[in-house]
Amino acid sequence: MFDRLESVVHKFQKLEEDMGNPDLLSNQKEYQQVAKERSELAPIVEKYAHYKRLKEQVQENQTLLEREEDPEMREMIRDEIDSLKDQLERTENGIKLMLVPKDPFDDKNVILEIRAGTGGEEAALFVADLFRMYARYAEIHRWKVEILDSNPTGIGGFKEMIASINGKGAYSRLKFERGVHRVQRIPVTESQGRIHTSAVTVAVLPEAEEVDVFIDPNDIRVDVFRSSGPGGQSVNTTDSAVRLTHVPTGLVVICQDEKSQHKNKAKALKVLRARLLDTMQREQEAKIAQDRKSQVGTGDRSERIRTYNFPQNRVSDHRINLTLYKLDAILTGMLDDLIDPLNNYFQAESLKGAA
């Protein structure tokens, strides 16, 4: 670890020298790139400098302890050494965490896809519940939510809901929400008060820019048709709905929420690009002999990750064996009590992998 830290310090010093180079100053794009890289390394360099100062203080106190003869002073020095060693250990753990490779998608916006699984209308109603939960969480973090496509059932539920969530750190906070979410409750249509179990699938995709995924226009088949609502009723009288088919992969995206064909196509492209990036990411991970040790669970969308039990006001995350009796609060967007432990677990697994 310390060899790596010394190389980080060396690189940081080199970047600082480069920033003073007049030739670099004349190229603003390159200058900004160097400045960005320097700012990313600065916290590690500062933490390492603090670590070295603490280590020097420990050594100085140990030297004093060897020379000191007064019992009270020796006790004070020992206490100081113990305190410094605690700080040293915490600082070293902090440095290890900073050295864990950052997920390149953490700063991305999110494409959120929620789909009803087993459970019919009850599952569709829970799609709406989960979407409201994530929308409220986004509101708490001052992120922007935009519905890209939806497939309503007519009684307040949705077979499918696709939205973009734009904001700093959105993907880093939501990426562990992907998987199967199970709900246990008494449906409003249940006359005998029996608890039903339904399932909803959540996909969290990092939003891809054009520089992340190039889509050849010749690889896309575009079909347009009239938007339709519940029961097949016509929403408008123009062919504004858009279906994009990515021929090489067979991926299909439909968007029909907007009255404008142009807007629906732009939204569909955004979703298609995110799905292609997700596919590429999964293919890359599959080539690794052992999947990321830093990944919580397998991340497979067929994996049941969480259960929401309404009669007990309980939420259980099965990946980290966490159970909270505050379902009502969580559904209002208070998700940090679930997300923080998941991120902590992810970081701990990353440290094991880096060890």
| Average pLDDT per consecutive 10 residues, the chain (355 residues; last block may be shorter) | 81 84 79 83 87 91 89 90 90 78 82 91 93 96 92 88 92 93 84 84 85 79 73 53 88 84 86 85 59 36 80 94 95 94 81 58
Going by C-beta distance under 8 Å and a sequence separation of 6 or more, which residues neighbour residue 170? Answer: 108, 109, 110, 138, 141, 143
pLDDT score, position 312: 95
Rounded Cα distance between 297 and 278, Å, is: 17
pLDDT score, position 256: 84
Tokens 């007519």 belong to 154
Rounded Cα distance between 268 and 164, Å, is: 11
pLDDT score, position 351: 66
Determine the length of the chain.
355
Contact 274, 208 (CB under 8 A): yes
User: How many Cβ atoms are within 10 Å of 128's Cβ, its own excluded?
Assistant: 20
pLDDT score, position 292: 35
In DSSP notation, 27-86 reads: -HHHHHHHHHHHHHHHHHHHHHHHHHHHHHHHHHHHHHHHH---HHHHHHHHHHHHHHHH
Q: What is the CA radius of gyration of the chain?
A: 26
pLDDT score, position 184: 93
pLDDT score, position 303: 63
Contact 182, 304 (CB under 8 A): yes
